[in-house]
Amino acid sequence: LKLIPGAAKAPGARALTSSSLKVIADHIRACTFLIADGVLPSNEGRGYVLRRIIRRAVRHGFKLGQTEPFFHELVAPLEAEMGEAHPALREQRAHVERVLEQEELRFAETLSQGMALLEDVIADLPKKEHPGKPVLRLYHRYGFPGHPAADIARERGLTIDQAGFEAAMEAQRERARAASKFGVDLRGAVTLEAQTEFTGYETLTDEGAVVALLRGTERVTTLGEGEEGQVVLDRTPFYAESGGQVGDRGVLLADGVRFEVADTQKIGRAYAHIGRVHSGTLEVGDRVRAHVDEARRRATVLNHSATHLLHAALRKVLGTHVTQKGSLVAPDRLRFDFAHYAAVTPAELREIETLVNAEIRANAAAETRLMPYEEAVASGAIALFGEKYDDEVRVLRIGEFSTELCGGTHVSRAGDIGLFKIVSESGVAAGVRRIEAVTGQAALDWIAQSDQLLRDVAALVKAGREDVEDKVKQLLERSRKLEKEVASLKTRLASGQGTDVASQAVDVDGVKVVAARMDGADAAALRQAVDRLKDKLKSAAIVLASVQNEKVVLVAGVTPDRTARLKAGELVNVVAQKVGGRGGGRPDMAQAGGNDASKLDEALATVAPWVQAQLRA
């Protein structure tokens, strides 16, 4: 109840008894705790639930007349009321406020436009049931969500045809899935009872028995030479893709048989080695020697351990609101997605990179322990929000810097990573940033390439390495000045040519008609010349043309006293069609282009006859 006055103050409501205020006060609690726990607005899972709650609260504020962002302002009174009992609210307050404000701003325009459109739809309905398809159209064309539409309909005494809406949505999703589907999703299409023992933490070579073979989604008993398929073993050193780490590659060998593994994926608790039989025939029951591609695995291991150091560094530099939202750990690079409300600045990136490399140089041991999940979390290990974990989990600890739950493969000591280099930072979704980086030899190669690029640029601008930045700035400033001078000269040239062009005007039934070339002039110069000719000739129809980079540029103008009969847009389009183009514009000024400069003179010759025909029509 103490939040209701704050809610009333934010939207500017007069009556504290408004049901909308109760909704807003209730929703700010739910949203704040969800965001503080690491959930961000999105279109799926918990993020979708959060987005729906935020948008419902914002809509109730809109209903009270609030058109500016207000919902985020309620975090402060909530923190004052509950912060002592929930310290996380105080720690995460600024983060929660930013997330809510950004979501409000994104929704504001959609809400304003969608409300008006929905009211129009409701007004035209003859029945009390609101059909689902119009709501779906609002959703796809304007981004107006179905759930607020349902709320509004209920307030008008209507009911949404929810079954129709969901059926239309599912049909849309099915079309999207059909358009994007590629290959076979083994995890969704195949069920295996087999369980594979993973031995790849200790070794990269092991022996195992073939317990299942698949060709696509079909269970088979043999795979012959040249056939592609999936081999399931009872034990394997091959790591199956999970936790962002890519699946291993390598070979499976038996007497006279070689199966080349291109990827490894999980099917339930079984590991499927995906690849092709290079020679021989592989049968269920065969024993094989499994050899992981050692160089590829070791490169992948460096990147995986580096992601843990990166995650810890991000939390130290940006704040503890940073949580992992996805990752890719490949042999050639790592990609780490994380929750953050703004682009990471260059200074912050340097600090993050410095922290990671300091830990690498410190060369702390990377220790892995198996322990109960609850004990692991209680010890301070970071768990990914929303992930499902077994009762017993693996905990990776790198010195005192990083402790996380992780089932992947890792280095023995941080120093094994060698070097860490961030190569890019970008946004991938609302409230989600992405850092890409390289490690080890790949990092050295990246630095060497960057160094060579700097040397090449220094040679081009004839400056020493340390003076390259200043020299490039000087060249850019000089280029800007020259561009201004060129533009000025073009204008003066067009002005001089315009004076000459005026003398070429012919009288057509009292209208001065000009159709001329001004080669070298760009579109802006042509427009200026047309304006000057209109002022000079008083009653005129003008078409000026230029050829630039083998393309025709056309500008037409008609003085105001003649636009009733002569339209510049129609005139320029007639000429443009002769040179393989088209255009249009206002009655007094229009522009067009064309591809066939060889027919320009012929096209200009049609101007006077066209004007005469229009005047006499």
Per-residue pLDDT band for 17 (boundaries 50, 70, 90) equals low
Instruction: Give mean pLDDT, residues 544-552.
Output: 89
pLDDT of amino acid 587: 92
Asked if residue 471 belongs to a domain, the reply is: no
- The total number of structural domains in the chain stands at 4
Measured distance CA(576)–CA(587) in Å, rounded: 16
pLDDT tens-digit series, residues 253-283: 999 999 999 999 999 999 999 999 999 999 9
User: In the predicted model, is pLDDT for residue 397 greater than 80?
Assistant: yes
Tokens for 509?
A: 């039934």
Instruction: Judge contact between 286 and 254, C-beta under 8 A.
Output: yes
Specify whether 499 is located in the same domain as 578. yes
Q: Do 62 and 157 reside in the same domain of the chain?
A: yes
- Share of residues in the chain with pLDDT > 90 (%): 55
Whether 470 maps to a domain, the answer reads no
Q: pLDDT band for 180, please (50, 70, 90 cuts).
A: very low
Q: What distance in Å separates the CA atoms of residue 541 and residue 530, rounded to the nearest whole number?
A: 9
Name the nearest CA neighbour of 261 among 223, 298, 299: 223
* Dihedral angle over CA of 248, 253, 257, 258, nearest 10: 30
User: Of residues 78 and 156, which shows the higher confidence score?
Assistant: 78
Residue 183's pLDDT band (boundaries 50, 70, 90)?
very low
Residue written as token pair 């965001």: 35
- Residue 158 pLDDT: 59
Tell me the average pLDDT across 138-144.
50
Q: Which are the contacts of 2, defined by CB distance < 8 A and separation ≥ 6?
A: 77, 81
Most confident of 86-90, 393-397, 501-505: 393-397
In the prediction, which pLDDT does 142 show? 46
Computed over every residue of the chain, the mean pLDDT equals 85
User: Mind listing the pLDDT tens digit for each residue in 77-128?
Assistant: 888 888 888 888 888 888 899 889 988 887 876 665 555 665 666 566 555 4
For the chain, what percent of residues have pLDDT higher than 70? 82
The answer for residues whose C-beta is within 8 angstroms of residue 188's C-beta and 6 or more apart is none
Q: Which of 213-222, 493-502, 532-541, 557-566 has the lowest mean pLDDT?
A: 493-502
Whether residues 401 and 318 fall in one domain:
yes
If pLDDT is split at 50, 70 and 90, which confidence band does 152 have? low
pTM, entire model: 0.66
User: Same domain, yes or no, for 171 and 209?
Assistant: no
Q: In one letter, which amino acid is 216?
A: G
Task: Tokens for 583, please give them.
Answer: 């255009």
| Domain coverage including residue 77 | 3-180
Instruction: Calculate the alpha carbon distances from 226 to 258, 280, 616 in Å.
Output: 10, 9, 80
Q: Is the pLDDT of residue 496 over 90?
A: no
pLDDT of residue 80: 87
Q: Which three-class secondary structure string do you get for 200-232?
A: CCCCCEEEEEEEEEEECCEEECEECCCCEEEEE
Q: How confident is the model at residue 391 (pLDDT cuts 50, 70, 90)?
A: confident
pLDDT score at 521: 82
Q: How far apart are CA 134 and CA 124, in angstroms?
A: 11
What is the distance between the terminal CA atoms of the chain, rounded to a whole angstrom?
Answer: 77
**Residue 91 has what pLDDT?**
84
Cβ-proximal residues to 405 (8 Å cutoff; 6+ apart), any chain: 373, 376, 377, 381, 382, 383, 384, 389, 393, 394, 395, 396
| pLDDT tens per residue, range 433-485 | 999 999 999 999 999 999 999 999 999 999 998 999 999 999 999 999 998 88
CB atoms within 10 A of CB 142: 13
In terms of domains, do 268 and 356 share one? no
For residue 184, pLDDT over 90 is answered with no
Note whether residue 223 is domain-resident.
yes
For 107, the token pair is 């929704």
- 315, two tokens: 């939390």
| Distance from chain centroid for Cα 22 | 36
List Cα–Cα distances, 409 to 240, 245, 306, 464, 559, in angstroms: 11, 8, 12, 45, 77
Residues 244 and 309 in one domain: no
User: If DSSP states are collapsed to H, E and C, what string results for 271-307?
Assistant: EEEEEEEEECCEECCCEEEEEECHHHHHHHHHHHHHH
- Note whether residue 76 is domain-resident: yes
Report the alpha-carbon distance of residue 397 to residue 365 in Å, rounded. 8
> Does residue 100 lie in a domain region?
yes
Structure tokens at 76: 């402060």
Domain end point (choices 292, 324, 351): 292
Cα–Cα distances in angstroms (integers) from residue 102 to residues 4, 49, 425, 428, in the given order: 23, 17, 20, 15
Gyration radius (Cα) of the chain, Å: 34
| Residue-level pLDDT at 139 | 52
Phi-psi region of 157 (alpha: psi -120 to 50; beta: other; left: phi over 0): left
Among residues 25, 77, 14, the alpha carbon closest in space to that of 53 is found at 25
Check whether 186 has a pLDDT greater than 80: no
Task: Note the pLDDT of residue 456.
Answer: 94
Q: Is 480 among the domain residues?
A: no
Q: What is the pLDDT of residues 409-427, one digit of tens each?
A: 999 999 999 999 999 999 9
Measure the CA–CA gap between 30 and 275, rounded to whole angstroms.
Answer: 48
In a domain, 39, yes or no: yes
Nearest to 498 by CA among 531, 451, 547, 456: 531
CB atoms within 10 A of CB 281: 14
pLDDT value of position 389: 79
pLDDT-derived band at 182 (thresholds 50, 70, 90) equals very low
- Report if residue 483 sits inside a domain: no
- Report the C-alpha gap between 200 and 292 in whole angstroms: 9
Cβ neighbour number for residue 265 with a 10 Å cutoff: 17
CATH at residue 283:
2.40.30.130
Provide the pLDDT for residue 447.
96
Q: Pairing between strand 392-398 and 402-405?
A: antiparallel
CA distance 251 to 249: 7
Closest C-alpha among 81, 18, 31 to residue 57: 31
What pLDDT, in 10s, does the model give residues 567-591? 999 999 999 999 999 888 899 999 9
Residue that wins the pLDDT comparison between 138 and 292: 292
Residue 62: its pLDDT value, please? 80
Question: 154, 180, 206 — which closes off a domain?
Answer: 180
**278 and 302 share one domain:** no
**Which residue type, as a one-letter code, is found at position 343?**
A
CB 553 within 8 A of CB 585: no
Question: Do 358 and 313 lie in a common domain?
Answer: yes
Residue 181 banded pLDDT, cuts 50, 70, 90:
very low
In this prediction, residues 234-259 reach a mean pLDDT of 96
Same domain, 89 and 15: yes
Among 48-57, 130-139, 145-154, 291-300, top mean pLDDT goes to 291-300
| Beta bridge partner(s), residue 556 | 543, 590
315 and 387 co-located in one domain: yes
Alpha-carbon gap, residue 73 to 52, rounded angstroms: 19
User: Using CA atoms, how far apart are residues 608 and 193, in angstroms rounded to an integer?
Assistant: 85
| Residue 176: predicted pLDDT | 47
Question: Is there a single domain that holds both residue 14 and residue 52?
Answer: yes
Tens of pLDDT along 512-526? 999 999 877 888 889
Higher pLDDT, 175 or 500: 500
CATH for 511:
3.10.310.40
Best-predicted range by mean pLDDT among 287-301, 372-386, 429-443, 482-496? 287-301
What is the token pair recorded at 455? 């040397």
CATH number at residue 386: 3.30.980.10
Domain stops at, among 114, 146, 180: 180
Contact 74, 28 (CB under 8 A): yes
At 440, the amino acid letter reads: G
Pair 438, 542 in one domain = no
pLDDT at 461: 93
